Amino acid sequence: AAIARLERKSFIMEGVIPEVQSLLAVPAPEAKHAYLAACSQYSLVSMLVLASLLGSALNPLEPKDFPASPPGLVAAYNMLSMIICCACLFGTTIFLLETTMMAGTAERKIHSIIAGYSPFHFATWMMAFGIQGTAPLVMIRAWISGLDRTQCIILTAICAALWLRMQFVWFKHLQAH
């Protein structure tokens, strides 16, 4: 048992995110179950972001429908919604492929696959981009929606403050763990 623990610990590398490190420190069956659960949860988040914005990406706004707004702002909204959808689609695809492949993987290979977590890492970045890109998208939509300038400034300030608070909480969490 002690040798198995040492073998698991040999996969723990400097610079690996804490979530992956924790998966490398547990026995293979637990690591596999936790990894598959994480892939499923992250995939669900990516799919929800994708589903919520797909209509905007597939039916872009027409600048002529927003004559008071600069056409560049409408174009920025359209492009950002398409980029977010692509990122979430790519992330979801990788999570689903990774889940499918890991489900049939032998337990003896689990830790080495998790240690080389590049598909999971890429998909996590795609999901994070989808989530992080949604706040600016909402603010751009407010600016082209017809709200008056004061309302847009107040909305932007509130959304930016909430976003900054979220970043503070997240990075504080990373430093604590």
Q: What is the pLDDT of residues 73-94, one digit of tens each?
A: 999 999 999 999 999 999 999 9
pLDDT at 111 over 50: yes
- By the 10 Å C-beta count (0-12 exposed, 13-18 middle, 19+ buried), 85 is classed as buried
pTM of the model: 0.77
User: 123 in helix, strand or coil?
Assistant: helix
Q: Could you read off the pLDDT of 5-54 as tens digits, one per residue?
A: 544 455 445 555 666 777 878 888 898 898 889 889 989 999 999 999 99
pLDDT tier for residue 109 given thresholds of 50, 70 and 90? confident
Please report, for residues 40, 104, 126, 171, the alpha-carbon distance to residue 97 in angstroms, rounded to integers and kept in the order given.
11, 12, 15, 29
